Structure 1
Amino acid sequence: MARITAALAVIAFFAIFPSMEATQYIVGDDQGWSSDVDYYSWIAGKTFHVGDSLVFNYTSGEHNVVVAANSDVYDQCATTPNFGVWIGGSDVFTVPTTGTYYFLCEFHCENSEQRIKVEVNS
């Protein structure tokens, strides 16, 4: 009887807290982090969770990734304050906590809207 009770407890736990595997998103899909992508459309319908990864693939020197510190920096296409500027061409951001994250390219934010706002659910 104890084994049945323990088995039912395990089943109930996973019914309440389903296993979630992290998802890796290639930002811009095949086009990558580029001024040619409509990021408002790209992000539509996606749900992000803690542990998911965003991969930014781009031509180094032509683009970069600014991790904007807040919505004001993002809205103004500014570069400071920020939590980092990546220039490597293949950068990965793994979501550490729930909240809103802001990414932009300092070279193309204003002209092409090369930026994304990622809202992470619990």
Structure 2
Amino acid sequence: MASKQVLLLAVAAITVVSLVAQASAKDFMVGDSAGWTLNYPSGWTNGKNFTTGDSLVFTYAAGKHTVVEVTGAGFKDCDATGNAVLGSWSSGSDTVKLDKAGRRWFVCSVGNHCSQGMKLLVVTSGDSKASSASLNYNVGAGAAALVAGAAAALMF
């Protein structure tokens, strides 16, 4: 009986860890209430901590702006063409997952918007959320096995 209780406690603990890992990721509205526009505040990233698992949410008028992920050189030169482009979005409501640690550069490719300041550099840290996200996936499979095992043990 004690082993069944230990098994059930382990399943409960794994479930809690999984839920905490999922709840810790944040969505950041780029530009806050101003959105991704020509009035985008250049210091928007100040005081924000971006970690793997978080997402950037770009809201803007479709057709008037774009979101283009570029290389560091593309960012510096406001070049959103050719090999400088790593990804692009244009729906007006785009979510970009910060799935790895490091620098990510985004610009608007419309006209001279980038040179007018419509550009964003985000530095993402790979803190424990990355480990939690990975743990969450692996624990999910383990939890399923433990639940199946617990159910089988309870039947006997």
TM-score bucket (shorter structure): 0.7 to 0.9
Deviation of the 1:47 alpha carbon:
0.7
Aligned equivalents of 1:84 and 1:94: distance in 2? Answer: 12
SS in 2 for 1:30: helix
More helix by share: 2
Which stretches of structure 1, 4 residues or longer, exceed 4 Å deviation after superposition?
none
Alignment partner, residue 72 of structure 1: 73
93, 104, 108: which is aligned to 2:107? 104
The structure number with the bigger radius of gyration is 2
Q: Which runs of 5+ in 2 are unaligned?
A: 1-5, 7-12, 127-156
Q: Which runs of 5+ in 1 are unaligned?
A: 4-9
SS in 2 for 1:73: helix
40, 64, 73: which is aligned to 1:62? 64
Q: CA RMSD in A?
A: 2.1
Aligned equivalents of 1:61 and 1:118: distance in 2? Answer: 24
- What percentage of residue pairs aligned between the two structures are identical? 32
TM normalised by structure 1 equals 0.79
1:62-95, Cα deviation, whole Å (9 max, x unpaired): 1000110x21100000013211221110000011
TM normalised by structure 2 equals 0.63
